[in-house]
Amino acid sequence: MKRPKILVADDDCHIRSALKTRLDAWGYRIVEAHDGLGVIALASRENVAAMILDHEMPNGNGRTVVNMIRKECDAPIIFLSGHDRESFGRITFALPDIYYMRKPLDAAHLQNLLFDLLGTIEIERACA
């Protein structure tokens, strides 16, 4: 079985690197973006099983990006944010398969969430 591919997007290269290291150790393949435009481009090109997105990125915040990529991609999206859930939840969480984790990241929670999500979806269902 192919290792599931996860799109990681954050404008902070240290956070992307830390996520990449953990996700690789957990058995996932990773593609990276540093801004909203990169997420949009990769979501349309890569077959990702899930996405981990920073909420505040250059060239497209989380709300803008998710509304655009949901037209082509139904992979689960996990938002990482320093903001509280309520500050953007009413708009974003109206869409399907959207999850939230507050920074600093709880790695065990992320690992469990990814296991739950990717254990219940078919990889073909995600972005193509």
For the whole model, what pTM was predicted?
0.85
Helix axes 36-45, 62-69, angle to 10 degrees: 20
| pLDDT of amino acid 37 | 92
Q: Are 77 and 99 in contact (CB under 8 A)?
A: yes
Q: What is the pLDDT of residue 126?
A: 47
pLDDT tens for the chain, 128 residues long, are 578 999 999 999 999 999 999 999 998 999 999 999 999 999 889 989 999 998 878 887 777 888 888 878 889 999 887 766 666 566 566 677 888 888 888 999 999 999 998 874 444 444 54
Structural domains of the chain ordered from first start: 5-125 (3.40.50.2300)
Q: In what order do the strands lie in the sheet with 29-33?
A: 29-33, 5-9, 50-54, 77-81, 98-102
Q: What is the pLDDT of residue 82?
A: 72
pLDDT of residue 66: 84
